[in-house]
Structure 1
Amino acid sequence: MNVEEVAKLCAALTPKEMEGPLKPLHVNLKARGEKRLACRLVGELLSNKNVNSDAFISVLPKIRKFIEDVEIEVVSGNTFSFTFKNVNDRRQVLLGGPWSFDKVLLVLEATVGKGDVQNMSFNKVAFWVQIHNVHLLCMTVEIMRFLSGMIKEVKEVDEGKSGDYVRKYIQVRVVMNVDEPLRRILRVDVMRDGKEMTMLL
């Protein structure tokens, strides 16, 4: 068979035939990949400029004491992969934010499914927020959860020692979308009489 005949045969092949058959990943390989993925986070530093990745990678383990080592790799630009040897380290980092480096916010996401970084939004961060101008009637855990739910998804409520307390403000941890402006005012009809009470963030 000469070169021209080979070229004609290749031209006659469909794209699928040229790519080869679909082959499923071996079950054991998939399980190993999922196990490693369960110990991984992906984070993006929200800056228009590329940060010094070497400095970031060297500084982060010094800021936080880990039970075991963490591997930090550059995915692309300001996006990094964090692989933890200990799942408790991963959980503490994910719950302990928000994190920043050189005054730049680091947004972390847990990997799910196949861990497709291209489809991660990197726009949700849990922040502690204070709600001011709260009357004594509203100083209960249940009402605090109701009020924090008006802001965004509730992660945690500072309940104080007894659970119900009197303070100048209440403090809640909520998941915020960093692409959206922060709501500064909560309008609540506390007494259910049509009269508005304004609380400030």
Structure 2
Amino acid sequence: MALFYVHQQGERSFCDVYAMRFEISLMICLWLVCFDSGTMAARSPPALSLIEDKWADLSLADEECGGLTAPDAQVVDEGTSQWELVGRFLTNRAIKFEHMQLVMASVWRPVMGMHLDLLDKNLFLFHFPHPKDMQRVLDDGPWSYENNLLVCAQIKPGMRPDEVDLNNIPFWVQVHGLPAVYASQDFITKIGDHVGAFMSIDPNNFGGSWRSYYRIRIMLDVNLSLKRRMKLLRRDVTSQWITFRYERLNIFCFCCGILGHTEKFCKKVYEEGIESEAFPFGAWMKVGPRRQV
């Protein structure tokens, strides 16, 4: 019996809810009249079941239409929260927390000290008493522990550590094979956006008449394959390859080119049966000095 209310998918308006309340009230009244008259309908299980279903539907409707208005945002003390980093390592193996804490502190050597908290199995909170120590960690990366790259980011005021996106990592990339006649800052910036997300150019790129390669700082998505090379198309229809080498690059797969695992544990190798001779990536993409801890 649907006298006044038509059930619809999605959100309901207040009018819909009121109509539904009226319909249920009317159904109960009719049921009570039947009960007083002694008819069989009062003892009918389907009638009771229909009313119960309507009440359940009404409860869901109240839930959809209800809620609380958010209060004014609290003022967050930026004096401490902005000096915290949250990070994870690109590995499925367990991280030895105490040992990692000692090793990273010895490598970073923060002037004002630091301490770590273990938030989850592979989620860590790095506290710095001074912002310069934290910024140096961000600027001088990427970092690694036992050859496992650390993906870390600053916690913005008002955010929780588990809300921070930990899927991007900065790298210095060497661009090899780019003719000097095309090595303008604008074109090198475009190359950076081809490899990942351009961040900056090494100022020493243009300090001289000749360079064997050019360095660019880029942000890489750890879920995507590394770029090996890029085809440079000249105006005379000829072309040549420009290759990329990554500084401080540690574990990555020579088959799929993704950071954090080797071809030994690559699903693509298992599913497609690719032999090592056919791997498109290789150790030639790594370049030192790499900081291994």
Shared fold (TM-score, shorter chain, > 0.5): yes
**Does 2:89 align with 1:45?**
yes
Cα distance between partner residues in 2 of 1:119 and 1:195:
48
For the 8 Å contact 1:188–1:196, the answer to whether it is kept is yes
For the 8 Å contact 1:43–1:80, the answer to whether it is kept is yes
RMSD: 2.6
TM-score when normalising by structure 2: 0.54
**Does 2:146 align with 1:102?**
yes
Higher relative contact order (CA 8 A, sep 6+): 1
The alpha carbon displacement at 1:106 in A equals 0.6
Q: How does 1:7-86 map to 2 (within 5 A)?
A: 30-32=75-77, 34-86=78-130
The alpha carbon displacement at 1:22 in A equals 8.9
For the 8 Å contact 1:140–1:164, the answer to whether it is kept is no
Equivalenced residues, count: 178
1:44 counterpart letter in structure 2: R
Say which SS state the counterpart of residue 160 (structure 1) adopts.
Answer: helix
Q: How does 1:1-201 map to 2 (within 5 A)?
A: 30-32=75-77, 34-160=78-204, 162-163=206-207, 165-191=209-235, 193-201=236-244
For the 8 Å contact 1:139–1:166, the answer to whether it is kept is no
1:149 counterpart letter in structure 2: D
The alpha carbon displacement at 1:127 in A equals 0.8
Cα distance between partner residues in 1 of 2:148 and 2:188:
30
Greater helix share, structure number: 2
For the 8 Å contact 2:205–2:211, the answer to whether it is kept is no
Say which SS state the counterpart of residue 99 (structure 2) adopts.
Answer: helix
Q: Which has the larger radius of gyration?
A: 2
The alpha carbon displacement at 1:25 in A equals 8.8
For the 8 Å contact 1:156–1:174, the answer to whether it is kept is yes
**Unaligned stretches of 5+ in structure 2?**
1-62, 245-293
**Unaligned stretches of 5+ in structure 1?**
1-15
The alpha carbon displacement at 1:131 in A equals 1.5
Cα distance between partner residues in 2 of 1:144 and 1:165:
17
The alpha carbon displacement at 1:24 in A equals 5.9
1:36 counterpart letter in structure 2: T
Cα distance between partner residues in 2 of 1:165 and 1:142:
18
Cα distance between partner residues in 1 of 2:203 and 2:170:
17
Greater strand share, structure number: 1
